[in-house]
Amino acid sequence: MEPQRVMVAMSGGVDSSVAAALVQEAGHDVVGVTLRLWGGESDSGCCSVSDVDDARRVADSLGIDHHVFNMGEDFDRHVVEPYVADHSAGRTPNPCIECNRHIKFDRLLRRARSLGFDRLATGHHARVVDMSDGTRRIARAADPAKDQSYVLHMLDQEVLVRLDLPVGEMSKDEVRARAATLGLRTADKPDSQDVCFITSASRGDAGRREFLSRRIPLTAGRVVDGSGAEVGRVDAVEMVTLGQRRGMELAGGDGPRYATAVDTATATVTVGSATDLFTETTPVDRVGWAAGPVKGSVLVQTSAHGEPVGAVLGVEGPADGGQMSVSWDRPHRRVAPGQSVVFYDGDLVLGGALAC
């Protein structure tokens, strides 16, 4: 490949640091960019002052220019507001996927093109594969434990033709070893595991509750069984997720009970047995494809590191934005509404959707 102008999204972590170094080693004209996304309280992910500083220092050590782009308004509109709205509606959002969909691979890529860059590179652990028909696909990373293909399932050809994922062929240990050899300050930096706009001092349910309670009223509700009889209470219906077992004050019962439905409009959570959580079909919407609709047998993954399982898509998958049902080869645990359902052919991502 002839030398090109490449913008590298640098989060301040080791993966994007090494990605920038690898693109530079390939002979390209590299500029590092860090996104300032969250204007509220934060101390982690790509939103903290320390991460911006780490990215800048890595860029300095590589001898490349570094810029900070403020995309806070876009982030709030496309990630934070929908996150809050989903909880209010009883859905279970994935803000990292929405950030990739709307910010990193839409807003940032459009900015890169407007500034005259040929390509965008990131530190995601996934691969971009060239197909025999001239199209490209996202594929699983070389390191299964760090694979991020699930969170990149929404990328289409318009993005993929301009995208490089330099660390996708490397294990995490190899990435850290390369960073150490290069003397990069991020070589031993821990991975960020949490939602960047919720502070590390209050992770998990406590963090979500604190964050949401400042934006929406949290509603106490009743818990009912399949017959409609009240069996308990919850402090906040908006905090309950399909399949949840803990956090509900339940009376009696012969065994473990799980949330099988969440109705925020009536402040009601329905519970049932583990068997009640399984289904033969899952309705999905906002369907999107890497390169055109797919039909028939596929592998389906319903969480970032979940086990792929067999399923059959509708007689013909709908065009982008449509709805359809996923028919499981065997009864499958129900997917919380709002979570991504991603379609694979082996290691290749075919597309994905959101569970209804």
Could you give the residue numbers annotated as active site?
Answer: 99, 196
Task: Please give the C-alpha separations between residue 133 and each of 137, 176, 291, 299, in angstroms, as whole numbers.
Answer: 11, 35, 10, 22
Q: Distance between alpha carbon 139 and the CA centroid of its chain, in Å?
A: 15
| Residue at token pair 């299964």 | 144
Report d(CA 79, CA 85) in Å as an integer.
10
Task: Please give the C-alpha separations between residue 238 and each of 8, 76, 82, 133, 209, in angstroms, as whole numbers.
Answer: 37, 20, 14, 46, 9
Closest CA to 103 of 134, 84, 76: 76
Q: Please report which residue ranges of 140-287 form alpha helices under DSSP H.
A: 157-160, 172-181, 204-213
Report d(CA 96, CA 153) in Å as an integer.
12
| Residue at token pair 């400042």 | 214
